[in-house]
Amino acid sequence: MPPARRAGGQTGTDPYLWLEDVTGENALNWVRKHNEPTLTQFGGARFEQMRSAALEVLDTDARIPYVRRRGDHLYNFWRDASNPRGLWRRTTLESYRTEQPEWEVLIDVDEIARVDGENWVWAGADVLEPDHSLALIELSRGGADATVVREFDLTTGQFVTDGFELPEAKSSVTWQDRDTVLVGTDFGPGSLTDSGYPRTVRRWLRGQPLADAQTLFEGEADDVSVGCGYDATPGFERLLITRSFDFFNRYRYELRDDTLIPIEVPTDAGISVHRQWLLIRPRTDWTVGSATYPAGSLLATDYAEYLDGSGELAVVFEPDEHSSLENYAWTRDRLVLVTLVDVISQVQVVTPGTWERVDIPGVPPKTNTVLVDVDEYGDEIFLDSSGFDTPSRLLWGVAGGEVAEVKRAPSFFDAADLEVSQHFVASADGTMIPYFVVGHRHRQAPGPTLLNGYGGFEVANTPSYGGVLGRLWLSRGGTFVLANIRGGGEYGPTWHTQAMRENRHLVYEDFAAVARDLVARGITTVEQLGAQGGSNGGLLMGVMLTQYPELFGALVCSVPLLDMRRFHLLLAGASWMAEYGDPDDPDDWEFISKFSPYQNISADRRYPPVLITTSTRDDRVHPGHARKMTAALAAAGHPVHYYENIEGGHSGAADNAQTAFRSALIYEFLWSMLSAASGPRGTGRVR
């Protein structure tokens, strides 16, 4: 049996285990050695043209500066050619609605990085409510999930000397009041879960040593995480604690003084607490008394009454075979719902109490519309509406009224010849799987086609405008396909739950069915069909490579999970066992072993060429997955190309320049492999 066949197996020795040493000298030398031939083969003149074209899209000042309201100001984080690490800035609504808003720059990340001598990447800000005078700023080294936290004064525009500050860790931190924060971080041995996230929630007072912060709640080592939030709404102040015992199930509590009050809802349900209301979205059917509420419903009740056992449930939304709830958010007095009907969005506003739903006037029909920002202390809403061939339009208005366009993104490619169509194909078990095709109206023959999918964690893939995709793929004559396979959330939680654990094979059967249908419809040929996916979608690509290689001409596998025998031992992997199963459980390993790509490499089957990309700084999905798979594929004699960015975190890129570089590399690889379909398949194996 070839070594690659045994790599990482349950009983065999993993010959590439040393590649899991993320920053080890030998491992990084291996990375450099394998980056070089990939860049040599695909880093030519055409790559440079595409990189420049992608960077122009990402850096242009004409794109929409998306905002979030905090008090009297609209806040935005902005990157461009002059500010590659970015600016955190703010303006007023009056100024924002002009062609050239006047921005007040609060934080210049490039300048902080220069002064500190660190490769800082912006990771977000938590602003004190309701007075908006202070913020907790998170910065990441190279784009990792782990961050440092610093307190920033929004009135002086300076970091607070001797303020709240946390060293690098996967922390959770939020304000309770201006002199108190609620924090979960690495307090030393035993303070993190097996997944590497906070196990305790503590109350930290200004001026107090972090080690002396009062413990409010402690979870178990095998939990995913423990977290908390504070509702500062005047008259409705409350401290909520969450104990996530797996990725999809959690216990919730309100802490009143020193009393922990359980919020008795299904552990797999999502909840929202706003003023006097509690919203509940169960992920599985929920029976209460004589009523059964289907998975994916949205239910409302009075929060205080529900906690004392007297609250009645009202149905706000109930799904059917075509519709699902995608998202919701509160303004002060209204609820905004985004639903999907066969993966096409619809936006409505709901009046609490009566729970009457009406469409929001001004939202363009048959577009993908998402919530950008909703002011929970006022009535303002921002929506973004776009499509595969329609650039984003930012809509502004008030809940209960009409929304109107306030910003429009430029067109980055000529879409006049493009048409978008939606198709359905029967998967192996007969379930109809939808997918979108973005193709060229006058094309008579099959052509290079890129199929994208994800299929996990109830994440819905919806139509949206991609300037880089348009310039680097569609404008060159390529066709793009988005598959809405099971495992995602396009039809609500059951679209996901039916494809978990032992039923994971449904995800892969769905994607394979779409690939076959594209060929059957004459949209493409096997030799011209490529596919791309990242993270859980990278696992999808690994399965396509090892189980369905005859369906594709090339594959791109980014920041992937691939060694499913050891995924739960690497970084945040333990948190995903609810999705995939527990490899240490023999019954679970029985089904995991059938789809784990690293354990199913064959030296006998012919594989399409594959580009595997990852990031050294990805502290969510371990880069060892990508490294070991590359080494094992090469040893088995398969055409494999590899690129690892030393920065970038789980996104694979730390700034626009790195994003443009990675995009150009991927599209150049795909075009090289798929556009010459009549010739031999790609070579250039990595050894």
Give the catalytic positions in this structure.
535, 650
Long-range contacts for 341-346 (Cβ within 8 Å, ≥24 apart)? 342/422, 342/434, 343/422, 343/434, 343/436, 343/460, 343/461, 343/462, 343/463, 343/484, 343/490, 344/368, 344/463, 345/369, 345/370, 345/462
Q: What distance in Å separates the CA atoms of residue 166 and residue 147, rounded to the nearest whole number?
A: 8
Give me the phi and psi of 25, to 5 degrees please.
-60, -45
Distances (CA, A) of 448 to 354, 531, 553: 52, 11, 9
Task: Return the structure tokens found at 179.
Answer: 């002199």
As to burial, measured by CB atoms within 10 angstroms (0-12 exposed, 13-18 middle, 19+ buried), residue 60 is: middle
Whole-angstrom CA distances from 336 to 305, 434, 671 are 23, 26, 42
Q: How far apart are CA 649 and CA 473, in angstroms?
A: 25
Cβ neighbours of 616 (radius 10 Å): 20
The SS3 call for residue 456 is: coil
For residue 246, give the nearest of 293, 284, 299, 197 by alpha carbon: 197
CA atoms within 13 A on the CB side of 447: 19
Exposure string over 630-649, b if 16+ CB within 10 A, otherwise e: bbbbbbbebbbbbbbbbbbb
Q: How far apart are CA 210 and CA 149, in angstroms?
A: 13
| Residues 379 and 365: beta-carbon distance below 8 Å | no
Task: Give the whole-angstrom CA distance, residue 59 versus residue 658.
Answer: 12
Q: Does residue 92 contact residue 67 with C-beta atoms inside 8 Å?
A: no
The single-letter code of the amino acid at 678 is S
Cα(15)–Cα(22) distance, rounded to whole angstroms?
Answer: 16
Q: How far apart are CA 538 and CA 623, in angstroms?
A: 12
Cα–Cα distance measured from residue 141 to residue 257, given in angstroms and rounded to the nearest whole number: 37
Report long-range pairs for 372-377 (Cβ below 8 Å, ≥24 apart): 372/66, 372/67, 372/68, 373/66, 373/67, 373/68, 373/69, 374/329, 374/330, 374/331, 374/336, 374/399, 375/69, 375/331, 375/332, 376/233, 376/274, 376/329, 376/330, 376/331, 376/332, 377/130, 377/233, 377/332
Helix-helix angle 505-520:536-547, to 10 degrees: 70
Buried-state track 245-279, b at ≥16 Cβ within 10 A, e below 16:
bbbbebbbbbbeeeeeeebebbbbbbbebbeebbb
Six-digit token string for 378? 């006022």
Q: Which of 88, 81, 72 is closest to 139 using CA atoms? A: 88
Output phi, psi for 314, to 5 deg: -115, 140
